[in-house]
Amino acid sequence: MAVPIDCRRCWPPSSGENPSSMRLSRYFLPTLRETPKEAEIVSHRLMLRAGMIRQQAAGIYSWLPLGKRVLANIEQIVREEQNRAGAIEILMPTIQPADLWRESGRYDDYGKEMLRIEDRHERDMLYGPTNEEMVTEIFRAYVSSYRALPLNLYHIQWKFRDEVRPRFGIMRGREFLMKDAYSFDIDQEGARAAYHRMFVSYLRTFERLGLKAIPMRADTGPIGGDLSHEFIILADTGESEVFCDRTYLSMNAPDAGVDYWDDAAMAKIVEEFTTPYAATDEMHDEAAYNALPEADRLSARGIEVGHIFYFGTKYSEPMNARVQGPDGKEHTVHMGSYGIGPTRLVAAIIEAFHDEDGIKWPEAVAPFHVGLINMKPGDAACDEICEKLYNALPASGVDVLYDDTDNRAGAKFATFDLIGVPFQVIAGPRSAAEGKVEIKNRADGSRDTVTVEEAINRFVAA
RNA sequence: CGGAGUGUAGCGCAGCCUGGUAGCGCACCUGCUUCGGGAGCAGGGGGUCGCAGGUUCAAAUCCUGCCACUCCGACCA
């Protein structure tokens, strides 16, 4: 028998351990057995209990390792789908000069939700609640020809809106992460095509996140038209009441092969997804809804996880963002903006996927794929099997959180149920002696006892 | 911003009414025993009692002011 070597204090790992996998004994996972009293909704309670976030002030949170991993996974999916749809990533600052906002007139209009700051030179600054002005400034500085269009620039950046009443944890924080994309086109027709690309991109993004997001017509304000949609996911604890055709539940987003530059195809998909009835309470048309067959009506609570809209020349006009067209004339560009809130999505996903024991992460965003539970550290068979799995799975791209602690079985199960890792691989003395482990599926609670090789193959194949 | 409420150890709470050396459970540390669904026993560490004034011999406790946070409503990615 090999001499056991306690290498838990060796860090960074010299063995080539995949850093995307972790030993629990070396991780920072401050879980809570009891729920802090301020947490009212389930996602907030579970995020605090699972050690994902730490509140620093009203509506302002630190992201702890587990939360950070989920957030990063969401960001990456959003990023990939934005890129696929032709948007180009940039990064604008959180702090902006007030002068830009004076140009658009919003410095005075925005009100107290905007956090205003003065720097040491007594210059008026602000912590950006959004970036239309800044991206328009970038655009006008460099783009002067229609040949550069269409153009869509996005970034994923922290925003601050000084909400009167932050609540529901991260769901309605003051500081939040947002992906905001901004499209520039020479005319409304081009802007419509840009809008459609983002619409389709959103369908794919939310589907990849494991969510059923339903596009609902939103108020376009003074601009009017049909180019504003909120993407709503259904959850019992949603903030607003929504009404839609049940048919949405069985609709699937287009696959990755769609051609975003085929305007007609894009328009067709958008039409398909905007034809069935769907509205939030403020846009609700009782008569139209009641015209649906009783069985098709779906009335539920919803959480807004994305919002896209066309706003024409609202910023390009006052800020002089113009390009020269093929006709030799100057054209004020038509713009749209497209937001997704990754931080809110973390909470929204939990609202949609949890049970009384904890979170049930969809695989695409899970902080780890597998929770490897060594039921009896020190037992030769358990240790050997766990080390084998802990080496094999990460090597194949499966992120593992290995519970190598000597806590009791019940505590380990409770922790992994709480943090919602999709699969628990359990190595206990009885089965380990036969070279087997148990696999528990967190989503449906099903269990299987398989050989170590089968376990490896199952995750690697998936 | 209107209404309600709470601040005592990392988390959940008691103590306050009736002033007198700050306590319980969880978590944490040590030891022993346990070991497949948040173990048991024993020992231990940790607190400016939100802050500032005031009353008093003495304030977590009484008085005044402030601050922070939460919840309900109106508003929003």
Q: For residue range A147-173, what is the model confidence (pLDDT) as tens digits?
A: 999 999 999 999 999 988 898 999 999
CB A36 within 7 Å, strand B: yes
Q: Are A321 and A140 a contacting pair, CB within 8 Å?
A: yes
Statement: residue A13 has pLDDT above 80: no
Query: Any idea which nucleotide's C1' is nearest the CA of A49?
Result: B11
CA distances A296 to A163, A223, A247, A256, A442, Å, are 37, 32, 7, 29, 31
The answer to whether A356 CB sits below 7 Å from nucleic acid chain B is no
Chain B: bases < 7 Å from a protein Cβ: 1-2, 10-13, 25-27, 34-39, 68-77
By DSSP bridging, strand A240-245 and strand A278-280 are antiparallel
**Model pTM?**
0.95
Q: Which nucleotide is nearest to A339 (CA to C1')?
A: B77
Residue nearest to nucleotide B72 (CA to C1'): A165
pLDDT in tens, A329-363: 999 999 999 999 999 999 999 999 999 999 999 99
pLDDT of residue A10: 43
pLDDT band at A241 (very low <50, low <70, confident <90, very high): confident
The reported pLDDT for the residue numbered A219 is: 79
Protein residue nearest nucleotide B34, by CA to C1': A408
In this structure, which long-range contacts are made by residues A259-268, counting pairs with CB atoms below 8 Å and at least 24 apart in sequence?
Answer: A260/A84, A260/A85, A260/A86, A260/A197, A260/A200, A260/A201, A261/A86, A263/A193, A263/A196, A266/A193, A266/A196, A266/A197, A266/A199, A266/A200, A267/A192, A267/A193, A267/A196
Question: Residue A103: is its pLDDT beyond 70?
Answer: yes
ipTM: 0.94
Confidence of residue A237 (pLDDT cuts 50, 70, 90): confident
Give strand letter and number of the nucleotide nearest A342 (CA to C1'): B77
Q: Beginning with the edge strand found earlier in the chain, give each strand of the sheet holding A22-23 in spatial order.
A: A22-23, A400-403, A370-374, A423-427, A436-441, A447-451
The answer to whether the C-beta of A304 is closer than 7 A to strand B is yes
Look at residue A393 and tell me whether its pLDDT is greater than 70.
yes
Judge if the beta carbon of A433 is closer than 7 A to nucleic acid strand B.
no
Query: Of all protein residues, which has its CA closest to the C1' atom of B12?
Result: A34
The residue type of A373 is I
Nucleotide nearest to A304 (CA to C1'): B77
* Residue A438 CB in 7 A reach of strand B: yes
Nearest nucleotide to A176 (CA to C1') is B77
A161 CA, B2 C1': Å apart? 21
Determine the average pLDDT of the residues in A194-206: 97
Instruction: Return the C-alpha torsion angle A330, A332, A338, A339, nearest 10.
Output: 120
Q: Over chain A, what HEC string results?
A: CCCCCCCCCCCCCCCCCCCCCEEHHHCCCCCCCCCCCCCCCHHHHHHHHCCCEEEEECCEEEECHHHHHHHHHHHHHHHHHHHHCCCEECCCCCEEEHHHHHHHCHHHHCHHHCEEEECCCCCEEEECCCCHHHHHHHHHHHCCEHHHCCEEEEEEEEEECCCCCCECHHHECCEEEEEEEEEEECCHHHHHHHHHHHHHHHHHHHHHCCCCEEEEECCCHHHCCCCEEEEEEECCCCCEEEEEEHHHHHCCCCCCCCCCCCHHHHHHHHHHHHCCCEEEHHHCCHHHHHCCCHHHEEEEEEEEEEEEEEEECCCCCCCCCEEECCCCCEEECEEEEEEECHHHHHHHHHHHCEECCEECCCCCCCCCCEEEEECCCCCHHHHHHHHHHHHHHHHCCCCEEEECCCCCHHHHHHHHHHHCCCEEEEECHHHHCCCEEEEEECCCCCEEEEEHHHHHHHHHHC
| Span CA (A410) to C1' (B59), Å | 45
